Amino acid sequence: MLRRRFLALGTAAGLLGGGASSFAQADPLPSWNDGAAKKAILDFVSRTTAAGSADFVPVDQRIATFDNDGTLWTEQPIYFQFAFAIDQIKALAPQHPEWKDQEPFKSALADDIPGIVATGNKGLLEIMAATHTGMITEEFSRTVLEWITTAQHPRFKRPYIELVYQPMLELMTFLRANQFKTFIASGGGIEFMRPWTEKVYGIPPEQVVGSSGMVKFELRDGKPVLIKEPKVEFIDDGPGKPVGINRFIGRRPVFAFGNSDGDQQMLEYTAGGDGLRFMGLVHHTDAVREYAYDRQSHIGKLDKALDEAVQRKWTVVDMKADWKTIYPFERK
């Protein structure tokens, strides 16, 4: 049942994102309003894929990287992986009565979002360690799939898997139709993203770069498995993003999209290559259809990267002005 439901959701997202053939004869970005941001994307792809163009980029170098939280799907009021971990805390709470007096567990059990956010990355890591340690990786993937297709966002009352951005689905489809290889480079957990990104975004698990925890190899009942450990191996955020891209992709992107200060170094790394480059930021400006936040936000803070984008003339997408539609379900 879970598999059928998840495949149906993934297929729906793919159809709503649009296939290459359906867009080849029409507007490849129908959910984008005409304006500077859309023009910049179309111009970049045209100039870098036209044979004989001074800006032509060979197919093997057409690497596009995307942040996930706040760039490909909603990240407010807290990162979705954090919401997943909180639900796991609640499920395990009866076995840990001491959590009712310990942070960050106390805030998690009380649904105190400001309290959870105040614990910062340390709190997140403690929650992740408490809920994930000892799990077999395949078991963890099944848990993620179950949660992401059934748990509901507190504001939109829809499964988290439905809160992906329709304009970005179209953009990734458009890039792939022009022989770009699309990757995720996210601060989110790599094993949290990999189970569903192919069905939802068209990005296979081997093209997902993210933060990772340690795993160890064991034989359980004669079967080889990988076990999650309570140790952080790699944080793919801020200056860690270019490091992760180099480590797992091996090519400098020519196209990169983010939405926060955590993406600044990825955009700088992309901009530092030779030839024509595209650097984009999603600016959350629509409090009615989604959320409006930037410099003061505890989630997805956009401050220094926004200043640099203006100074260096990177493309800043104004969500309210540039997107006709935000979510696929708005088109139904």
pLDDT tens track of the chain, all 332 residues? 444 444 444 433 443 444 333 344 589 999 999 999 999 999 999 999 999 999 999 999 999 999 999 999 999 998 999 899 889 999 999 999 999 999 999 999 998 988 887 887 677 778 877 888 889 999 999 999 999 999 999 999 999 999 999 999 999 999 999 999 999 999 999 999 999 999 999 999 999 999 988 999 999 999 999 999 988 888 899 999 999 999 999 999 999 999 999 999 999 999 999 999 999 999 999 999 999 999 999 899 999 999 999 999 999 999 999 999 999 999 86
Element (H, E) at 183: strand 181-189
Pairwise CA distance, residues 296 & 286, whole Å: 16
Considering only CA atoms, which of 55, 81, 86, 56 is closest in space to residue 69? 81
Pairwise CA distance, residues 260 & 277, whole Å: 19
Per-residue pLDDT at 19: 39
Estimate the crossing angle of helix 120-132 against helix 80-92, to 10 degrees: 50
> Please, what are the domains in the chain?
31-76+163-331 (3.40.50.1000), 80-150 (no CATH)
- φ, ψ dihedrals at 111, nearest 5°: 55, 35
Pairwise CA distance, residues 57 & 278, whole Å: 12
Determine how β-strand 278-283 pairs with β-strand 208-220: unpaired
Amino acid in the structure at residue 267: L
DSSP per position, 129-169: HHHHTT-BHHHHHHHHHHHHHHSB-TTT-SBGGG-B-HHHH
Among all chains, which residue has been given the structure tokens 């997408």? 317
Quick check: helix, strand or coil at residue 285? strand
Pairwise CA distance, residues 18 & 12, whole Å: 10
Tokens coding 222: 């004669």
CA dist list (Å): 109 to 113, 177, 298: 10, 45, 20
Pairwise CA distance, residues 291 & 306, whole Å: 17
Per-residue pLDDT at 241: 97
DSSP per position, 79-100: -HHHHHHHHHHHHHGGG-GGGG
Considering only CA atoms, which of 205, 316, 213 is closest in space to residue 264? 316
